[in-house]
Chain A
Amino acid sequence: MGLNLDASPEELKVFLEEADEHFQTLEEDLIRLEKEEEFNEDLMQEIFRASHTLKGSSATIGHNRMAQLTHGMENVLDKLRKKQLTVTSDLVDIMFECLDCLKVLRDEILNDEESDLELGDILGKLGSVHDAAPGSDSPTTTQPAPDKTSGKQTEAKISIDLSWEERDTLANASERGLKPYVIQLLFDVELEMLAVRTFVTLMALNETGEMLKSNPSADEIEREQVTDTLVMLILMKDDEAKIREVISTLPNIAQYEIQPFNDNVTQGEAPVIQRVEKVGEAEAECDEAESGDRNKINEAKNKAPTAAKNNNAKKANRTVRVDVELLDSLMNLVGELVIDRTRLFQILGNLEANYEMDEVSQDLGRTSVHIARVTTQLQEQIMKARMLPVENLFNKFPRMVRDLSQKAGKEVDFVMTGQETELDRSIIEEIGDPLIHLLRNAVDHGIEPPDQRVAKGKPRIGQLKLQASHEENHIIITIKDDGRGIDPEVVKKSGVKKGMITEEQAKRLTDKEAINLIFMSGLSTVAKVSDVSGRGVGMDVVRNNIEKINGATEIDSAVDKGTEFKIKLPLTLAIIRALLVSIDKSVYAIPLSSVTETIRMQQDQIEYVNNQEVIVVRGKVLPLVRLKKVFRNSYDIEDRGKLFVVVVNLAGQQVGLVVDSLVGEQEIVIKTLGKYIGDVQGISGATILGDGNVALIVDVSNLIKKAAS
């Protein structure tokens, strides 16, 4: 069932944008509020304002549940603001719970469907926190008081006791040409903010003449000692028609009576207007009118164009909303253009080499150069259009780290930098889970409990840093903690125990290689499985997810110093720079992101370890993989004396790929092989080259794994 909100799609868009901003404010500020030792008034005000504005806006669009929740929040925040409550982590927990509920309620708007979220529980919590605070019968209670008293009040006598001074003024009034009038007003029943309404009415009538006396008096009204009646004694030049005219413009007045002031009243008692028997009727009428109105509104809503149901139109965004699919297909088209650009240059080269250039072909050349330039710009722009700041992803982490560290009993200072760094949106989608996993690990296993830290002579509070930055054609995300670090010996033992490596192998592993074992499936060094991590699933998934998008992970860890994960990501998924190599006259592309260097060497430099070809590069043993063997299944390794080795590196593991020759470096557009070909070992995709030929893209991580096994 739809929510039947009272707002146009454009209005909802603005509402949702603002709501998201307020959620963000609440989230950030609540964390800060909890952290800061001294009560920060400005921060508190900001939090209060966010919830207050949300309340007003949600009530306006008719999202009653959101209004209800924010009202409850505001009551508690008001107490905090007035220092009648103090900031405790329990209270912050409750506020975060509210925030979670608010997000569900916001999603109701996006889906135009009421969720099954029950607010009873959280409202109860808010209520009990609020009621526990001193001074809890403050004006924040919603129910206005007068309906209880109105019955009695109409029977009571309303007296106008005049002091001697006032009687004096009264006696002199006629000399000044002023006539005294008694005005009695009865306000509408169940009026909200009756005191203020009474005050405004008093002020308005005050302007018609000289107010001698009122009951309740201005002071009493200010102290909210009001009933639904107001009696005034006014001295004025004009007659009562003037008063009627003024009263007729004032809102919320149910009945009134104006009488010239006479002796009878001078005795101190004014005839009281009764709230006529119509009270009941009036209420009934009022109810009827209201429900009538509601019906009308509902009808109108039902009649509202079905376009309102179009969720997409409602979703929040800062600018123009473009379907991701459209961006993807644009990127694809640009990819085609990029291929043609390369192709065009090649054709042009042939033309120049083989034919004499005349006017026409020179023209063609110039146009080609121009098209190439425009293509490059188009490619950059579309890539930019797909970029989002990582902020969108990072924003949810502070809250997550806070909750995790609280659950684990750790004290963590979480710092994020470089949130403005931009990444292709599809990459942002892919790295969310790996990052969450790494942050969880850091809090859960990396950072020690405060007491242990103190015992080790470290500061009590652990540092956790998340950083995004630009580095050449890559984005680097690092997660760094100053916790206990990864002990290579422990990892080795665990690996042997789980049968993943032999003891023999374990002995030969360097520390770095040992630490890299944690990326293998099934390895967990933690004795106890916690609520959040340590189940042995994870690190391999983390690596696979990152490699899937042509990224790479690196670990650097030292016992008791901490651990640093470095994730290197490409700017985009669709177009990469690649090193083109040839094997048996076919061209293959190796993603440049994983290439460390190319080496030209002699056949006789190859050495053998356990029948495995290796070379020694600067004192380091490098296993060789002959791509000819892998892809061509050809074993005849001709001894040409010279050979080319492309050194590739993934997550600290290096392998040398032996190729026939190096062709060059080029931007390539990644195409999948298509379902009918399916997964091919060692190949991750294909691309079209400038000459129109197809080149296969080498799957480096697959080859490295193969070389390792």
Chain B
Amino acid sequence: MPKVLLVDDAAFMRMRCAKLLTENGYSVDEAENGQDAVEKYQKIKPDLVLMDITMPVMDGLTAVAEIKKIDPEAKIVMCSALGQQNTVMSAIKAGAKDFIIKPYQPEKILSTIKRFVG
């Protein structure tokens, strides 16, 4: 089962996303900020990371850079709201593979994840 690490400070968003992913055959782990994500990435070695941008403690952009340092092959998809174009662009340059725009459409999340982990 492909492992997805879900990073978002909003428990509501995590709950919703985790439900969708587990229902579609992914194993899901959750992290509530960038720092947490970096730590969990090392422990879990997920196949894909869904990364929120605006978070306390460590934001998504920093977390992408940190994870890439640990694993240059890491597959990270940014979860962005409209209006964060510049940040997403920086994240892509830092090594994130793709992005999805909130509010999430289930088909979009699934098709995006599928592209990277099958």
Binding site for B on A (CB under 8 A): 7, 10-11, 14-15, 17-18, 46, 48-49, 52-53, 55-57, 59-60, 62, 67, 74-75, 78, 139-142, 192-193, 195-196, 199-200, 203, 222, 224, 249-251
Contact check, A222 vs B89: say whether CB atoms are below 8 A apart: yes
Chain A residues with CB under 8 A of B55: 49
What A residues does B54 contact at CB under 8 A?
48-49, 52-53
Q: Could you tell me if B12 and A196 are in contact, using CB atoms closer than 8 angstroms?
A: no
Q: Please, what's the 1-or-0 string for B29-55, where 1 marks a CB less than 8 Å from any CB in chain A?
A: 000000000000000000000000011
Instruction: Note all chain B residues with C-beta closer than 8 A to A49.
Output: 9, 54-56
Cβ contacts under 8 Å, A14 to chain B: 11-12, 15
Shortest distance between the CB of B20 and any CB in chain A (Å): 11
The reply on B24 being an interface residue by CB < 8 A is: no
Report how many residues on chain B are interfacial, defined by Cβ distance under 8 Å: 32
A251 and B82 within 8 A (CB): no
- The answer on a CB contact under 8 Å between A59 and B99 is no
Q: Are B16 and A11 in contact (CB under 8 A)?
A: yes
- Give the docked Cα–Cα distance between A14 and B11 (Å): 7
| Closest Cβ–Cβ distance, residue B64 to chain A (whole Å) | 14
CA distance A700 to B8 in the complex (A): 58
Q: Are B10 and A56 in contact (CB under 8 A)?
A: yes
Query: Does A139 lie within 8 Å of B15, measured CB to CB?
Result: no
Q: Is the CB of B85 within 8 A of A139?
A: yes
Per the bound structure, the CA–CA distance linking A49 and B85 in Å amounts to: 17
Chain A's closest residue to B78 (CB) is A196
Q: How far is the CB of B11 from chain A (nearest CB, A)?
A: 6
A126 to chain B, nearest CB (A): 14
Min Cβ gap A371→B in Å is: 43
List, sorted by A's number, 30 A–B pairs whose CB atoms are closer than 8 Å. Answer: A7-B16, A10-B15, A17-B11, A18-B12, A48-B54, A49-B54, A52-B54, A53-B10, A53-B54, A56-B10, A56-B102, A57-B12, A59-B103, A60-B13, A60-B16, A60-B102, A78-B83, A139-B83, A139-B86, A140-B82, A141-B83, A192-B101, A193-B88, A196-B88, A196-B99, A199-B89, A200-B92, A203-B92, A250-B115, A251-B108
User: Judging by beta carbons under 8 Å apart, are A224 and B92 in contact?
Assistant: no
* Contact status B12-A46, CB under 8 Å: no
What are the residues of chain B within 8 A of A60 when measuring CB–CB? 12-13, 16, 102-104
- B30 CB to nearest A CB, Å: 13
**Any chain A CB within 8 A of the CB of B98?**
yes
Q: How far is the CA of A59 from the CA of B12 in the complex (A)?
A: 12
Cα of A19 to Cα of B95 in the assembled complex, Å: 32
- Extra inter-chain contacts (13) besides given A53-B13, A60-B13, A60-B16, CB under 8 Å: A49-B56, A52-B81, A56-B103, A57-B10, A57-B12, A60-B104, A139-B85, A193-B82, A195-B85, A200-B99, A203-B92, A222-B93, A224-B85
Cβ-neighbour of A46 out of B56, B81, B99, B103 (below 8 A): B56
A193 touches B80 (CB 8 A): yes
Complex contact B115–A196 (CB within 8 A): no
Kindly count the residue-residue contacts between A and B in the assembled complex, taking CB atoms under 8 Å apart.
87
SS class, residues of chain A in contact with chain B: helix
One of A55, A193, A251 near B112 (C-beta < 8 A): A251
In the complex the two chains form, what is the Cα distance from A141 to B16 in whole Å? Answer: 27
* Nearest-neighbor residue (CB-CB) of B79 within chain A: A56
Given A49-B56, A52-B81, check contact A15 B12 (CB 8 Å): yes
Closest to B115 in A: A249
Contacts of B101 in A (CB 8 A): 192-193
Given contacts A7-B16, A53-B10, contact A193 B103 (CB under 8 A): no
A192 to B83: give the CA distance in the assembly, Å: 10
**A647 to B11, alpha carbons, bound, how many Å?**
57
Determine how close the nearest CB of chain A comes to the CB of B56; give it in whole angstroms: 6
| Selected contact of B15 from candidates A11, A78, A251, CB within 8 Å | A11
Q: How far apart are A22's CB and chain B's nearest CB, in angstroms?
A: 9
**Which of B15, B82, B89 has a CB less than 8 Å from the CB of A142?**
B82
- CA of A56 to CA of B80 in the docked complex: distance in angstroms? 9
| A444 CB, min distance to chain B CBs, angstroms | 38
For B97, the chain A residues whose CB sits under 8 A away are 200
B82 touches A56 (CB 8 A): no
- A304 CB to closest chain B CB, in angstroms? 16
Contacts A11-B12, A49-B55, A192-B101 given; indicate if A56 touches B81 (C-beta within 8 A). yes
**A53, B16: Cβ atoms closer than 8 Å:** no
A463 to B102, CA, bound (A): 45
Q: Which residue of B lies closest to A16 (CB)?
A: B12
Which of B82, B102, B111 gathers most chain A CB within 10 Å?
B82
A196 and B85 contact, CB distance less than 8 A: yes
* Chain A: minimal CB distance from B9 (Å): 7
How far is it, in angstroms, between the C-alpha of A317 and the C-alpha of B9 when the chains are bound? 19
Tell me the minimal C-beta distance from B112 to chain A in angstroms. Answer: 7
CA distance A49 to B33 in the complex (A): 12
CB of B10 within 8 A of CB of A59, answer no
User: Once bound together, how far apart are the Cα atoms of A74 and B12, in whole Å?
Assistant: 19
Which residues of chain B come closer than 8 Å to A57, judged between CB atoms? 10, 12-13
In the complex, the chain B residue whose C-beta lies closest to that of A19 is B12
A510 smallest CB distance to B (angstroms): 57
Closest beta carbon of chain B to A288's beta carbon, Å: 17
- CB pair B92–A196 under 8 Å, yes or no, is yes
Distance, CA A196 to CA B79, complexed state (A): 12
